[in-house]
């Protein structure tokens, strides 16, 4: 999965416009233009599409955390230089204030079953003996489940079709 795919999925799940995405970057003390956001959201086949870097996605996720949970006093958290699926998953968990049962419910909406120990392994420190790397497939299921849960909430519980057909990839 690319950072652009993740940004598009989150934007779609919460029905964020370009102005809201720019504002989320601002909440993480980073200025971006609407043109930059538009270039990140273009399809890979579009020649004007620009890749969203790990740092930019980390800043966006930090802004989402600040928007949903409130900004902490003191200096802003430094964005990670390298992101992996575990970090992205953890940041979404924090932003949405999700407990294990909530995450399992979201995954079940998308057709993925995990046990609590399997899930907790994703949120452990990398040097822990039970740490497990989150594969793209699990993150895809979580993002699809987010779309089904949160997009439906913004559209009066009308069934929502996920923005991306991940099975075709």
Q: Indicate whether 29 belongs to any domain.
A: yes
Answer whether residue 5 shows pLDDT above 70. yes
The answer to whether position 168 is within a domain reads no
> Distance of CA 2 to CAs 9, 56, 134, 141, Å?
11, 12, 14, 15
163/146 Cα distance (integer angstroms): 11
Helices 136-146 and 3-14 meet at what angle, rounded to 10? 20
Per the domain annotation, does 69 fall within a domain? yes
The model's pTM: 0.86
How far apart (Å, rounded) are the C-alpha atoms in residues 60 and 28?
Answer: 7
Q: Please check whether residue 167 lies inside any domain of the structure.
A: no
Tokens 């979201």 — which residue? 106
Please tell me the total count of domains within the chain: 1
Confidence band for 168, pLDDT divided at 50, 70 and 90 = very low
Question: The domain containing residue 45 runs over which residues?
Answer: 3-161
pLDDT of 97 strictly over 90: yes
- Residue range 62-80: mean pLDDT, rounded: 88
85, 45 contact by CB (below 8 A): no
89 in Cβ contact with 142 (< 8 Å)? yes
Single out the residue of 65, 58, 70 nearest to residue 30, CA to CA: 58
Provide the terminal-to-terminal Cα distance of the chain, rounded to the nearest Å.
10
**pLDDT tens per residue, range 11-34:** 999 999 999 999 999 999 899 999
Does residue 169 fall inside a structural domain?
A: no
Coil, strand or helix: which one is 112? coil
Band (pLDDT 50/70/90 cuts) for residue 83 is: very high
Cβ–Cβ < 8 Å for 103, 142: yes
pLDDT tier, 42 (very low <50, low <70, confident <90, very high otherwise)? very high
């Amino acid at each position: 999965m690319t950072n652009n795919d993740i940004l598009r999925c989150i934007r779609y799940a919460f029905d964020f416009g370009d102005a809201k995405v720019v504002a989320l970057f601002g909440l993480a003390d980073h200025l971006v233009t609407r043109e930059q956001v538009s270039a990140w959201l273009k399809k890979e086949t579009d020649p004007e599409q620009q890749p969203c870097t790990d740092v930019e996605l980390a800043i966006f996720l930090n802004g989402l955390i600040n928007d949903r949970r409130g900004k902490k006093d003191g200096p802003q958290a430094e964005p990670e230089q390298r992101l992996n699926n575990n970090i992205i998953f953890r940041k979404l968990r924090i932003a949405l204030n999700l407990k294990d049962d909530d995450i399992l419910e979201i995954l079940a909406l998308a057709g993925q079953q995990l046990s609590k120990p399997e899930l907790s392994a994703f949120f452990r420190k990398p040097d822990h003996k039970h740490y497990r790397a989150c594969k793209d497939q699990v993150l895809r299921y979580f993002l699809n489940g987010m779309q089904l849960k949160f997009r439906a909430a913004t559209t009066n519980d009308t069934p929502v079709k996920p923005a991306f057909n991940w099975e075709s990839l």
